[in-house]
Every structure is written in C-alpha cells, then in structure tokens.
Structure 1
Amino acid sequence: MSYRIGIDVGGTHTDAVLLDEKYQVISETKTPTTADVSTGIYKAMREVIGKSGVPREKIRYAMLGTTHCTNAIVERKRLNKVAVIRIGAPATLAVKPLVGVPDDLRSHLEKYVYIVRGGHEFDGREIAPLDVEHLYRIANEIKGKVDSVAITSVFSPVSKDHELKAAEIIREVLGSGVAISLSHEIGSIGLLERENATILNAAVVNVAKTAAEGFINALKAEGINAKVFFGQNDGTLMNVEYAIKYPILTISCGPTNSIRGASYLAQLSNALVVDVGGTTTDIGVLIHSFPRESSLAVEIGGVRTNFRMPDLVSIGLGGGTIIRIHQDGSFTIGPDSVGYKLPEKGMVFGGDTLTATDVVVALGKAKIGDPQKVAHLDKELLNRIYHQMVEMVEEAIDKMKTSADPVPVILVGGGSVLLPDKLKGASKVIRPDHFGVANAIGAAIAQVSGQVERVFALDELGREKTLELAKKMAIDEAIKAGANPETIEIVDMEDVPLAYLPGNAARVRVKAAGVLSAS
C-alpha cells in the first residue's frame, strides 16, 4: 500500500490530508497559515503524518498547492533580476514593455528592457528579420547582472521561430544557469498581456525554486522520499522541473484544488462549487470534473495578463470576515478579515472582534468556540446580518450560472458552516464528508495535464490532421509534466475560427490529462 500527502495553502489555513492509493482519507488537519508560508506547510505536514500512523517510507507522493508565487508578486518581494526582451521593432515601438504595470512593481523589473528588430505578422510573415547582432550585444550587456530573461515576440503563438532563436543566443552567452521564459509557451495572442504574463513568470522562478527545495527538504527531514508535484491553476499537477519553468501556473491553484476536491467528494462532474475560506468565498464552475476557464484577461498584483486562469467570482466573506455594527443600527460585512488570527481575535475564542463565525455561533447554526461569549448579542440584528451574508453568496451564484435553471451546489471549505442547507438558485446543496479540507484533497487526487493553445493555419494540413497534431502536442506536454503516457486522455478541446487571419486560421486549445507516472 502506498500513500500520498496533499497540502494546500490558503490565506487563513494550511490544510493537509493523507490518502491511501484508493484515495480514501486516512488523516486530515488544518493549521494556521504562517506569514512566511513555509512554516505552516511543515507544521501541517508533520501533524497529518503524526495523526495517520502510516510508515513514512510508504508515502510515495507529495502534492503542494501554494501561494508562494502569488504572494511574491503581490508583496513585490523575493523577485528575480529580470531582463525583458521584446522582439517587434519597428512595429511595436509606440508602446513600451511594462506599460500599465504598477510603479512599485515596475521599479523591480525595468532595469534591463530592450526592443529588438523582428517578430511576425498575424499571418506568419516576418515583420523584419531577427536582429541577431543586437541580441548578442544585449546578452553580453546583461551577463552577470540578471538571473532570469523574459522573451516576447510579436505573434509568437503563430510563429515561435524568433523567440527560439533569441533563447538560443541568450543561453549561449549566459549559460544554462539563467532561467528563460518564452511567451509562446505561456500566454495567448494579445502582445502586451502575453508579455506581462511572461515577465511575471520570469520574476518568480527563484520563489518557485526555493519553495520546491524547501518542501523536498522538509519531506526528507521527516524521512519521506516522495515524488513532489505542484498544483497548477487548471486543477492538475506538474512536476518540480515543470513548476520551476512555469511558476506562474501555480497562481490561483488553491480555488481550483477546491473545485477538483469538491467534484471528487460529491461524485459530481458538473456543478457550482462554493468554497468558503477564512477570508473569501470563491465560486467556480465544474465542467466534466475540471474548473471552467476564464475567457477574460486577468489581473495579478495589478498586472493585466492573458494566460489561462480559472473562471471565479470571489467575494469578501469568510469565517474571519469582520462585521462592523454602527450606532444607527446599520452594519457592514467585511470586506476585510482577521484571517489566520481568527482563533485569537474572534469573540467566540475570547477576542474582541465580531466576525462572521461569531454571528453563526450566536444564532446556533454552528458549534465553534464558546457560545456564551456571544450570547449577549442582539439576535434580531444578527439575523439581519446573517440574511445579508447568505444573499451575498446567492448573488454570486447567480452571476456564475449560464441559465436561470437551478444547478447543484457543492459547499466546501472550513468556512462553509456559515451557509445554510438551502440556497436560492441551487437545485440541491451538498456538503460532502471532509468538506473542510477539499482543497488539500483536490491537490492529492489531481491528475497531471498538458495543454497547447496556439493558432494553426488549417490550409496547411487540413482540419483533422491539424487537430491530431495539437492533441499530440498536448499529450507530449502532459508526459513532460509527469503523466503516465498509457493513461493520458484528451479532456478538453476547442477550435475557434479566426476570420481575420488568412490561411483558414483557427485558435486551437487542447488539454490532455493522465495519472501520475510511477517512474
């Protein structure tokens, strides 16, 4: 019998589970998330192993859903020294790289920014030949000054040749120790958003590396020799090497882990998932057991990007949400939260801050802490507050639905005790066993995926052969990420005709997923 650990880091709690090879929960734990993230991970890991009594040598896999990279971007800390190279002169000189990036983040990233002649038109024709000499000058100029390079070429999802040649030159001069991020591997067509995503990816390579090494070393310190995987934001896993190359894919993996865990626990493949944490409630959509992806540009730390992200609505309601009662009898709910300090600041735990948790305990809807400490509160006012809390969630559910018909709703997350068993817009409300650690379960049971999204000219091979080629590319990506080739299936595919491009062009997106490779 082999076992696997799943750990997911949230804003308030770090959750951990230990599963057997049939994905049954052997032990689970919740510990407060720590300011440095890593300490909370190690504590949760030790607790869940200690509770299980499982021999450490039988734990073969460890999966981590982490906020390390998100935090680094938001806090502007621990970022790489990045060189930004755009291939697109003379066509793109009007708008420089990093336009629209917040000033405090730009100051970290704008020291080495270059625009080089080259790039392609939307139909694959060269705008200008690639300026190889300029690239060699840049490489020699940044040598020893940067440890990560972001390369973006105009319309590289159509033709990646100039990006690959530029990477070859940079690697030749700077050596293999410098990380290189290529935009055609990260974002979709829009230049500025794709460039931003690539720059952010380049900026958090060291953060991902440190997190990976720290996690591996913590496992070894516990006597565990497990294969390590990171959660990515499409609800699947990637191996350590892949995570260090594409760390930006870990951003927003927490909500997707919850969605995947909810699907597994409720045995539903199509539903709405309401994940209530300590700080926010995230609502996502399950389609064929995977999260629905957003079709919009997404902001990360104030930076507009266009790489794949889950389609989520987040509202400021969680177990630690602060409730303020005003002198005229009115009240406000959040959006701020006491977060991981709930056990010391919440009134039911002896603190002095009224939180959403205190409201449900005072109304007898949950058994947490000491109800006597909130018994003096005005029940009529609390009922009004509670009614508005529920309405906030029902409105968010309504936003995520694609029709007026009621749909199944799965409630997960430690804070889901805030919500009733009936919600408007829900055909049924399911609160499965182990709902409090659905995110860690989602990390532990996840498959490994590969995805390709690029523009193809269908006239070259014909539609059928082009789709087959895209499928093969997605399968190859899944194998690189750590999937067992024999188990890989195509789980999602779409092709959208692009009428404004010649050659009968289409944007093709294919995702393949399979179970972890044992080797």
Structure 2
Amino acid sequence: MRIGVDVGGTNTDAALLRGNEVLATIKTATTENVTDGVSGAIRSVLSAAGIAGHQISAVMIGTTHFLNALVERRRLQRTGVLRLCGSSTRALPPMIDWPDDLKRVVDGGAALVGGGVNYDGSAIASLDADAIRQACSDWRSRDISAIAICSVFALVDPRMEQQAAAIVAEELPGASISLSHRIGRTGLLQRESATILNASLHRLGHETIAAFRRAFGELGLSCPLYLTQNDGTLMSADYAERFPVFTIASGPTNSMRGAAFLTGLKDAVVIDIGGTTTDIGMLIGGFPRSRGEGASIAGVPTNFRVPDVFSFGLGGGSIVRDGVHIGPDSVGFRLPEKAICFGGDTLTATDVAVAAGLVDLGDKTRLKHLDDAMVATALAKMKSDVEAVVDQMKPGPEPIPAILVGGGSVLINGLLEGTSVSLRPDHFGSANAIGAAIAQVSGEVDNIVSLDGQSRQAALDGVIAEARRRAVEAGAAEHTVTLAEIDETPLSYLPGNAMRIAAKVVGDLNP
C-alpha cells in the first residue's frame, strides 16, 4: 500500500492506494508549516482507511515548499558561483538575467576561472586550481557555504567540474556543492542558473527531508520516502535532498498523471482547478506534454523540462466582484472562514457554485440574496475563461476529451466548447495525490556528442546508459527501466559531425 500527498497553496491532499485501488482520500487546509500539514494529512488518510502506519510500503510527496521559498525570497542560502571557462565565455556574468530582489538574496559572489571544454571534449583551458582556492578563501571569509560549479560544455565531459568540486570540498569542509552537469541541460547561462537555484535551496532541502523523516517516526511509518519531480516521476528522499530544484513544477504534473490513472485516457486535456489557480495541460501517451522552451522559475530563466501548463487565477477561493470580475486574488486556505456560505463576508467562486446548485457546501440560505442573473453571469465567465485556454492548449481543431480534476472543478458545468466529452472521475478532488502515489522513477540526459570516432548507435547507447544510471540512483528497480523518449538533433553549425541527444527512461520503484 502506498500513500500519495500533494501540498498546494490552499489544500493538502492525501490518497491511500492498494495496487490500483483507491482505499481512501482526504483534503485538508494547507498549513504554514508544510511538515505539520503533511503529517496531519497522512494521519487522517490512515485513519479513514483503518490502516496502521507499518502497513504502508512507500509515501510519495509532491510539494510547493521549495518553489514558495524562491517566490517569497526567503530561507535561501547565499551561494558562491564558480564558472570554469575561457575568455569568450566571461562577457555575461552569472545571474545577469535574474530579478534584482532574488539576486540580492542569493548572490554570494562569482569567480570565473580557467577551465571548461569544447563540444568535442577538448579542453578550453587547464583548470586553474589556484584561482579556485583563492575564491574559496573569499567565500570562507564571508561564511558562504553553498557553492554552484558550472563548466562550459560540462555535459560533454564533467571531469573538470568534479575536479573543481574536490578542491572546493578540501578548502571549504562541509560546504554543499552543486554541479551543473547533474542539474541542467545544454545552454550555459540557463544551466548555471538552475545550479545556483539548487545550491541556494540545499539547506532547506536538508531541513525539510529531516522534518519529514521525524514525522514518519511519529506516525509509525518505516517505509521509504519519495518526492515527485518536475516531470511527474519520483526521486528518493536522499536524491531530493541533493537536488531540491527538481521538485519545483511537480504539482500540475501530479494532477495530470492522476487524471490519466482515474479515467484510463492517454490523450486528453486536463483541467485542474484548485483553491487559487487553474492549471490546464495536455496528456500525450499518458504523460504531460513538455514545454518546448525552458521554464522560468521565480523569474529566473532555466532549461528544465517542465509540463506545458497554462496557469491562471481561477479557483474555489477566487474573489468575485460584480459577477464578471473573478480573481485572480483568492481567499486561499481561508475559504472555510471567508466564504459567505460558511459564514464569512467575501463572495467567492465557491459561493457562486453553491448558489447555482452545483455543489452542496455550507449554508445555501446565506446566499439567497444573490441575484440569479449575477450567478449565471459569473458561471458563464468562469466557463468561457477555461474554454479560451483549452483552445490554446489543444494540438488541433478537432474536439478532444477533457478531464476535470481538483476540488474547484465543480465550478464548471456541462460540455466545454472544443471538447468531445467532459469527465469528472471518482476521486477527482484528490487526483494530485493519486498522481503522486502511482508515479514511476525517471532518469534524463541531454548531451552533445561528436560522431567522429564513434557510430551513431554507440553515441545513443552511451546517453541512454547514463539516463538508466540516473534512474537507478533516483530509486528505480534496474530491471524495470525502459526507454520513454529519445530525441536526436544534428548540429550542422558545429564541426565534427556533432549531434544533440536527449534521452529519458522510466522504471518502477525499487521495492
């Protein structure tokens, strides 16, 4: 039996599954202390199912905890940046395209030192060990203990990053060191930024995982802990502690995977309406469609592969004004005290749904003063807003199935324009937690290789083997790992018969 937990800005959901059977689901208000909310959700779902903690084989958690830290600019470590490069890659310094307020919090100083490799693996310059030691001396004097190391073309040959890390570890014992070849994809500045974000989150990652483990002990859980990552797959707690930035976009992905599981559909548009926002994305072959370009995280351009999701301010807690202005501000997790149907004084989208008879919550008599025309106008506005985004996300003009999930999906009634059917499956309100509970483990590599001196198949095999190794390191059972995606792009603008190869593998959890 497995428990999936998804922590959103408004609600925390938990689901308990035995195989493919959903035994229990619960929804609680998200707490300011994420660990307390997760503990409470797990305790509640165990109680609802009548299951003891020692019977659980794994717990999977999807959380916005690390994204919130970046967005709110707090609980971040000041980070030193070490770029291994030649003269031509010094023109643009690290963090040049970051928001000023986030840069002020994270920037611990940068050192651009000799090193790096060309696309074919040949050295740009020898590693300048003395310059690295000098940079470490400066960081030590300012108590900087989080270091991000990024080498030009590190994905081709990571050895210089590893050598630099060994020097930093010697000079700064106990420092947390993030290496770009383990975090980002091709593209120096975006990969460097992703590595800096990861380093700045390292201490919070350690504290969060430690808190989860303490909570597990109090709940009588002795099973492994996993966190969901950006592509909807899992990583072990140890892996998440080292790479917290991989959890940033896990929320919408969990809901989409849960929607696929609950309906059996592999290709559909998924509409996830929560308490504050609506996330709309496409399922292709049972997995979320990836965004073509890299993601901007807390205003920082990166090259992470994240789901192609359009988010906007519509949820159950959205504040309604005049029937035509809905959101984007929301009462969020204060819905039970702020909404009129619960005795509050703020008209919310949930109040509109209750007044229209779409859902039975609170005291409907508190809403008898609402004008029927206003209620109808508000419902039509919410539906048209969703339909407009569905039209943007669809791959073509033909109608496609729509899956409505999330507690706020009760705001939408009837068939959506541009869809062939609108499904709201059982357990729709906890699709996010169910998606976390059923997730697999993945490994991904994006690299540039030269085909001079090796065959195309040998290059492919090398990239796939590294992806498999990363999946196993993240917690996959090696014999279950299979190739999910492979993409080859010839790079005619580079000499040496260069090719970019991106591979992704998935596998089941190692029992």
For normalisation by structure 2, the TM-score amounts to 0.97
Please point out which of 118, 125, 128 is paired with 1:128: 125
Comparing 187-196 and 233-242, the one that deviates more? 187-196
Q: Could you tell me how far apart the structure 1 residues matched to 2:405 and 2:414 are?
A: 12
- Letter of the 1:47 counterpart: S
Alpha carbons 1:494, 1:508 under 8 Å: kept: yes
1:217-232 alignment to 2 at 5 Å?
A: 217-232=214-229
Residue 97 (1) aligns with residue 115 (2): no
Deviations 1:83-113 (A, max 9, x none): 1111224223322111121222111222332
Please point out which of 424, 434, 439 is paired with 2:427: 434
Deviations 1:138-173 (A, max 9, x none): 233324722221011222223333222211211232
> Counterpart of 1:7 in 2: which secondary structure?
strand
Please point out which of 277, 281, 293 is paired with 1:280: 277
Q: Could you tell me how far apart the structure 2 residues matched to 1:206 and 1:421 are?
A: 47
Q: Which residue pairs with 1:153 in the alignment?
A: 151
Q: Could you tell me how far apart the structure 2 residues matched to 1:101 and 1:90 are?
A: 22
Alpha carbons 2:80, 2:110 under 8 Å: kept: yes
Query: What value does the CA root-mean-square deviation take over the aligned residues?
Result: 1.5
Q: Could you tell me how far apart the structure 1 residues matched to 2:52 and 2:37 are?
A: 22
Alpha carbons 1:70, 1:251 under 8 Å: kept: yes
Q: Could you tell me how far apart the structure 2 residues matched to 1:502 and 1:376 are?
A: 73
Q: Which residue pairs with 1:174 in the alignment?
A: 172
> Counterpart of 2:453 in 1: which secondary structure?
helix
Q: Which residue pairs with 2:262 in the alignment?
A: 265
Residue 186 (1) aligns with residue 183 (2): yes
Q: Could you tell me how far apart the structure 2 residues matched to 1:24 and 1:147 are?
A: 46
Q: Could you tell me how far apart the structure 1 residues matched to 2:148 and 2:8 are?
A: 29
1:30-45 alignment to 2 at 5 Å?
A: 30-45=27-42
Please point out which of 53, 68, 76 is paired with 2:50: 53
Alpha carbons 1:98, 1:196 under 8 Å: kept: yes
Q: Could you tell me how far apart the structure 1 residues matched to 2:50 and 2:397 are?
A: 48
Q: Could you tell me how far apart the structure 2 residues matched to 1:268 and 1:121 are?
A: 45
Q: Could you tell me how far apart the structure 2 residues matched to 1:291 and 1:147 are?
A: 37
Per-residue deviation, 1:419: 0.9
> Counterpart of 2:444 in 1: which secondary structure?
strand
Residue 484 (1) aligns with residue 477 (2): yes
Residue 321 (1) aligns with residue 314 (2): no
Residue 6 (1) aligns with residue 40 (2): no
1:235-274 alignment to 2 at 5 Å?
A: 235-274=232-271
Q: Which residue pairs with 2:459 in the alignment?
A: 466
Alpha carbons 2:186, 2:446 under 8 Å: kept: no
Comparing 182-191 and 23-32, the one that deviates more? 182-191
Q: Could you tell me how far apart the structure 1 residues matched to 2:486 and 2:414 are?
A: 35
Please point out which of 399, 408, 429 is paired with 1:415: 408
Q: Which residue pairs with 1:292 in the alignment?
A: 289
| Unpaired stretches in structure 1, ≥5 consecutive residues | none
Per-residue deviation, 1:184: 1.9
State the identity %.
46
Residue 350 (1) aligns with residue 343 (2): yes
Per-residue deviation, 1:122: 4.1
Q: Which residue pairs with 2:104 in the alignment?
A: 107
| Unpaired stretches in structure 2, ≥5 consecutive residues | none
Please point out which of 195, 208, 220 is paired with 1:211: 208
Q: Could you tell me how far apart the structure 1 residues matched to 2:478 and 2:190 are?
A: 33
> Counterpart of 2:57 in 1: which secondary structure?
strand
Residues paired across the two proteins, number: 510
> Counterpart of 1:91 in 2: which secondary structure?
helix
Q: Which residue pairs with 1:361 in the alignment?
A: 354
Per-residue deviation, 1:407: 1.2
Residue 425 (1) aligns with residue 415 (2): no
Per-residue deviation, 1:425: 1.2
Q: Could you tell me how far apart the structure 2 residues matched to 1:28 and 1:200 are?
A: 34
Q: Could you tell me how far apart the structure 2 residues matched to 1:158 and 1:501 are?
A: 14
Q: Could you tell me how far apart the structure 1 residues matched to 2:108 and 2:312 are?
A: 37
Alpha carbons 1:347, 1:358 under 8 Å: kept: yes
Deviations 1:225-249 (A, max 9, x none): 1100011010100001111111101
For normalisation by structure 1, the TM-score amounts to 0.95
Q: Which residue pairs with 2:74 in the alignment?
A: 77
